[in-house]
Amino acid sequence: MNVPTVGVLALQGAFREHLNIFDSLGVNTRGVRTSADLAGLDALAIPGGESTTMSRLAADLGVLEPVADVVRSGLPTLGTCAGMIMLADEVIDGRSDQQSFGGLQIAVRRNAFGRQSESFEAQVSMPVLGEPAFPGVFIRAPWVEQASESVEVWGQVERPEGSRIVAVRQGPVVATAFHPELADDDRVHRKFLSLI
């Protein structure tokens, strides 16, 4: 059986944590910093971090379009927090010069849960993973405000302002508003690998 190779966009953010989890799950891993690093990948992860910085670095280093191309071509892709923003077709409250890879027919709101000081942990209801609920780590996290009918809601979190969509899947693309790479729980990563 061939062992899949998962690339992790390694421009900024929590890419090391993703590499560590995928390593622990027995797959080959590679940091992606150039368009050449995309060759031969079976899947790609886009980590949490700062979406405007990630967007600028991706453009400056010439990987914005190549990553968008592989996502559009159907490469299984996981985006977490800023990665969700980078995969969204529409970013609400984004900077005017911010660009994304696209690939998910969703509209996300940046920093929807508040500033860094308002970061929190909460149990995320994710029936696709079974029980117990997933321990979500939310750091300046987005939420999904709109999703097309072709987008599956994978996870929601209850907040004082109501239930918010924080995990979705559309075909081979999965995104979470929280940081599964910072939780002591590898179920999101294992579920994503099952899509390869």
Is pLDDT at 95 greater than 80 in this prediction? no
Instruction: Give the model confidence (pLDDT) of 151-180 as tens digits.
Output: 999 999 998 888 999 999 999 999 999 999
In this prediction, residue 113 carries a pLDDT of: 79
* Average pLDDT of every residue of the chain: 93
CB 60 within 8 A of CB 22: no
**Range in 3-12, 63-72, 86-95 with the lowest mean pLDDT:** 86-95
Q: Catalytic residue, from 17, 18, 179, 189: name it.
A: 179
pLDDT at position 1, please?
62
CA distance 137 to 97: 28
Burial class (CB in 10 A: 0-12, 13-18, 19+), 162: exposed
- Element containing residue 122 per DSSP (H, E): strand 120-124
Q: Which of 172, 196, 186, 187 is nearest to 79 (CA)?
A: 172
Q: Answer whether residue 119 shows pLDDT above 90.
A: no
User: In the structure encoding, which two tokens stand for residue 154, read together?
Assistant: 């994978």
Please identify which of the residues 17, 18, 81, 189 carries the catalytic annotation: 81
Checking if the pLDDT of 77 tops 90, the result is: yes
Active site residue 181: yes
Structure tokens that stand for 144 in this block: 């999904």
Q: Which domains does the chain have, with CATH numbers?
A: 5-193 (3.40.50.880)
Q: What is the pLDDT of residue 66?
A: 97
Annotated active-site residue in 17, 18, 181, 189: 181
Instruction: Give the lowest-confidence range in 45-49, 50-54, 140-144, 188-192.
Output: 50-54
SS3 content of the chain, % helix, strand, coil (to 5): 30, 35, 40
Select from 39, 32, 42, 25 the least CA-distant residue to 76. Answer: 42
Active site residue 179: yes
Residues paired with 91 in a beta bridge: 108
Q: By the 8 A CB rule, do 121 and 184 touch? A: no
Q: What's the pLDDT score for residue 161?
A: 80
pLDDT (mean) for 57-70:
95
The proportion of the chain whose per-residue pLDDT surpasses 70, expressed as a percent, equals 97
Q: How far apart are CA 11 and CA 93, in angstroms?
A: 23
